[in-house]
Amino acid sequence: MNEEKKIAGAILDAQKMREKSYQPCIDSQGNDFGEYKLDIETCLIKTCKQRGLSPNLWHLLSLAIHWWNDIQLWAEDVLADKNILEECEKENAKMKDEQKQACDIDMMVEPTPPPMEDISEADVSKK
């Protein structure tokens, strides 16, 4: 398994481990105020160790925790064998094409002149 897939697997396994650590607690009014017994950093360290990944990587991933949702999406793409760079390039090309088309349309439309004020001859003679 290549390094990228090991990392992606560790990320998704860490999320699963954290979700399994959730302890629900329902108050008398039926409100759930449960908590996770494991934080994501702890889970990530465990899953990285299990996959034989470098401790330096654990630290970097824990620093990027505020982007956790994006990191999970990346991991899912990697494990699905999506070529992320190729897809980004296609998306950028599509956006540039759409911008060019919008610009071309703007160039074809003649601007509407501002409305003329209705000035009577009496108004002109006063000036």
CA distance 41 to 39: 6
- Model pLDDT for residues 102-120, shown as the tens digit of each residue: 776 666 666 666 666 665 5
Does the pLDDT value for residue 12 go beyond 90? yes
Tokens of 10: 């560790």
Structural domain spans, the chain: 3-79, 83-110
Which residues, in sequence order, are CB contacts of 9 under 8 Å at separation 6+? Answer: 1, 47, 51, 75, 79
pLDDT in tens, 31-51: 888 888 999 889 988 999 999
